[in-house]
Amino acid sequence: MHEYSLAQSLLESLRAYLREHPVPGRIRKVHVRKGELLVLSEWALSQAWRILAEGTELAGSELAVENVPVRVRCPSCGYAGEARYLAEEGWHMAVPILSCPRCNAPVEVVDGRDLAIVGLTTEEPDSL
> Interface with Zn ion by CB under 5 A: which residues?
74, 76-77, 79, 100, 102-103, 105
Residue in 104, 67, 68, 66 with CA at minimum distance from that of residue 85: 104
Kindly tell me which of 26 and 96 has the beta carbon lying closer to Zn ion: 96
Kindly tell me which of 58 and 100 has the beta carbon lying closer to Zn ion: 100
Q: How far is the CB of 8 from Zn ion (least distance, A)?
A: 38
Mutual angle of helices 42-53 and 2-20, in 10-degree steps: 50
Kindly tell me which of 97 and 103 has the beta carbon lying closer to Zn ion: 103
Q: How far is the CB of 36 from Zn ion (least distance, A)?
A: 20
Specify whether the CB–CB gap between 108 and 72 falls below 8 A: yes
The phi-psi region of residue 121 (left if phi > 0; otherwise alpha if psi is between -120 and 50; otherwise beta) is beta
Q: How far is the CB of 79 from Zn ion (least distance, A)?
A: 4
